[in-house]
Amino acid sequence: MDVSRGASHAEAAPSTGTTIVACTYKGGVVFGADGRVSIGNYIMNRASNKIAPLSDYIFLCRSGSAPDTQIISDNVRHYLHQASAESGEEPSVLMAANLVRLLNYNNKDHLVGAMLVVGWDKHAGGQLYGVPISGTLAKEKWAIDGSGSSYIWGYCDSEFKEDMTRAEAENWVKEALALAMTRDASSGGTIRMYTLDDAGVHYTYIPGDQVPQFMGDLPFPTGGPVGAVLGSAGREGGMVIG
């Protein structure tokens, strides 16, 4: 969602265009997001972190209004810390998802946030919950959201498989994000990915020049005059990642 059209860069708010992707696999869960933040046509950040930790093993993938989803993540993290201090145990993923849903639903007239609650706990292993705008809660095997998600529904639906291996799930998330970044002007930059399983949290950062490219894409500029690189590639058509 771009709220900045018609306004100057000095007056405009950052665009909330995003792609967030997550899926479960046999033994855990994988999730990721792109890194682009823009104001109008100006890309102000290519490496923004759109994934907020709620506890050591629970994370919130954020799309929608950046300040709205940030205040939700801050409050839920505070509540989970309190619950953990009182019980002496790590909070469950379902508890975190219900807190996100409660805050989102009770403030549905004021907040605009579509989020994914992703985590691992000893009770149910890797789990994924979708919390779209207005506060519905749905447990999913895979989920996508953000402005780039409309471009990759077909890919995600056809390529997702039950009980994928960790490598297959990570590749599924990476390719889905790269495809969305290819077509959605509000998604781009870098990719941040997390894998959660019984061994812990595994983080992967993919710089813009290492994001997978597809037929018709312009190559990532690598030294020399950028105009010359883009000029020679532009004759073949395509779009820029990053």
Which residues are designated catalytic? Answer: 18
Query: CB neighbours of 78 closer than 8 A, spacing ≥ 6?
Result: none
Q: Which of 188, 237, 191 is nearest to 215 (CA)?
A: 237
**Sheet architecture: strand order including 113-121:** 51-55, 58-64, 113-121, 125-131, 138-139
Please spell the DSSP secondary structure of 155-168, one letter per residue: HHHHH--TT--HHH
Distance in angstroms (rounded) separating the CA atoms of residues 192 and 169: 14
Owner of token pair 């805050």: 103
Distance in angstroms (rounded) separating the CA atoms of residues 72 and 96: 11
